[in-house]
């Protein structure tokens, strides 16, 4: 099947998807879509070899910025979402000055500390951040019509379409960045940093660039979340959610663009739908943890390795079939 038709089929499936789900599953789909952008943006940072523990807090920076811009300054919601991403990227640039004096494990711990400082600032300054209770009554995305479809953003289906378009566009940009010379340089910075440096690559600048871009998109995901749920607080961006993001990335695998997305989708469906439907609601942390350990033990290269095996097998099968024609 030509690649174009595959993409059309995927698009049709994604458009039809919410109509085959229950209302609560549609809600979960909205949060899943937002989390896909969060984890995909996180992968961009990991391309340079650095794993941050501040990514979820940076997501929160986008959420707080966008919420405050609409509440205090009356900025139009879609514009504030974009600005939320910009503010998150700028904060990342600021953080990069102290953080990129460190590498590896030290960067990981440093990023955690930086994230906690931001969270504590949200708590400390009740004006404008709302303190521990955070901000509530955040303006929702204004409803609008495009003729054949009325967007009512209280409804999860409408917000899924809206968020889906934004997330798809952001994923396309992330994909283009990864495949561009800049993305290849990110890989070089990770695997051959001394060689890259010797070749004239400013390693620190590229790490900062990856951190800022990843943070910008994380900020947009935070803004999408804030304007849907209508409330944010510092605890919503704590280390618990960061552990989930790490888990999605590790279980999915970070060698491919789709690996972390796969991890996010599979684990979210498992945690939020399958285990709840099976009546294991209160045992979810236990079952989820067990599945995570098992997947790491038996799938050390992540869920993406299954896809890679399947696609290789298909390619191997189709190769001899093609050879006579050749």
Residues that bind another protein (CB under 8 A): 22-24, 27-28, 31, 71, 120, 123, 126-128, 130-137, 140, 152, 154-156, 225, 228-231, 233, 235-236, 238-239, 272, 276, 281-282, 284-285
Query: Left, alpha or beta for 28 (phi > 0: left; psi -120 to 50: alpha)?
Result: alpha
Which residue has tokens 């904060």?
A: 91
CB 262 within 8 A of CB 249: no
CB of 22 to another protein, least distance (A): 6
Specify the residue, 30 or 83, whose C-beta has the smaller distance to another protein: 30
Contact between 68 and 135 under an 8 Å Cβ cutoff? The reply is: yes
Q: Toward another protein, which CB reaches closer, 244 or 258?
A: 244
Nearest residue (CB) to another protein, 50 versus 272: 272
Report the nearest approach of another protein to the CB of residue 155 (Å). 7
Closest contact distance (angstroms) between CB of 146 and another protein is 16
> Kind and range of the H or E element at 151?
strand 150-151
Q: Which is nearer to another protein, 236 or 249 (CB)?
A: 236
Tell me if residue 136 falls in helix, strand or coil: strand
* Closer residue to another protein in complex, CB, 126/313: 126
3-state SS class at 86? helix
Cβ proximity to another protein: between 126 and 176 the closer is 126
Quick check: 31 and 225 in contact, CB under 8 A?
A: yes
Instruction: Give the CA radius of gyration of the chain.
Output: 21
Residue 139 phi, psi (nearest 5)? -55, 135
Q: How far is the CB of 94 from another protein (least distance, A)?
A: 23
Which positions ≥6 away from 61 have C-beta within 8 Å? 84, 87, 88, 91, 118, 215, 219, 222
Distance in Å, CB of 150 to another protein, minimum: 9
Question: Residue 23 Cβ, how far from another protein at the closest point, in Å?
Answer: 4
């Amino acid at each position: 099947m030509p690649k174009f038709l595959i993409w059309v089929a995927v698009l049709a499936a994604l458009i039809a998807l919410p109509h085959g789900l229950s209302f609560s599953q549609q809600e979960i789909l909205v949060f899943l879509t937002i989390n896909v952008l969060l984890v995909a943006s996180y992968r961009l940072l990991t391309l340079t070899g650095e794993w941050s523990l501040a990514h979820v807090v940076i997501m929160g920076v986008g959420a707080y910025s966008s919420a405050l811009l609409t509440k205090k300054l009356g900025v139009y919601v879609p514009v504030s979402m974009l600005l939320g991403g910009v503010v998150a990227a700028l904060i990342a640039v600021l953080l990069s000055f102290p953080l990129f004096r460190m590498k590896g494990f030290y960067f990981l711990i440093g990023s955690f500390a930086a994230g906690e400082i931001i969270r504590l600032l949200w708590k400390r300054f009740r004006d404008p951040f709302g303190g521990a209770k955070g901000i509530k009554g955040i303006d929702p995305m204004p409803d609008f019509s495009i003729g054949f479809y009325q967007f009512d953003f209280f409804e999860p289906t409408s917000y899924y379409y809206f968020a889906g378009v934004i997330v798809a566009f952001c994923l396309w940009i992330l994909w283009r960045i990864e495949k561009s010379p800049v993305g290849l340089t990110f890989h070089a910075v990770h695997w051959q940093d001394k060689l890259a440096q010797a070749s004239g690559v400013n390693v620190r600048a590229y790490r900062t660039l990856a951190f800022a871009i990843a943070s910008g998109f994380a900020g947009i995901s935070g803004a999408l979340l804030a304007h849907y749920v209508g409330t944010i607080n510092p605890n919503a961006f704590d280390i618990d959610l960061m552990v989930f993001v790490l888990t999605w990335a590790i279980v999915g695998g970070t060698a491919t663009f789709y690996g972390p997305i796969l991890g996010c989708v599979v684990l979210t469906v498992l945690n939020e739908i399958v285990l709840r439907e099976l009546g294991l609601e209160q045992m979810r942390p236990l079952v989820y943890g067990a599945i995570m350990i098992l997947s790491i033990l038996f799938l050390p290269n992540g869920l993406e390795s299954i896809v890679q095996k399947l696609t290789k097998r298909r390619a191997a099968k189709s190769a001899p079939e093609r050879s006579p024609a050749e």
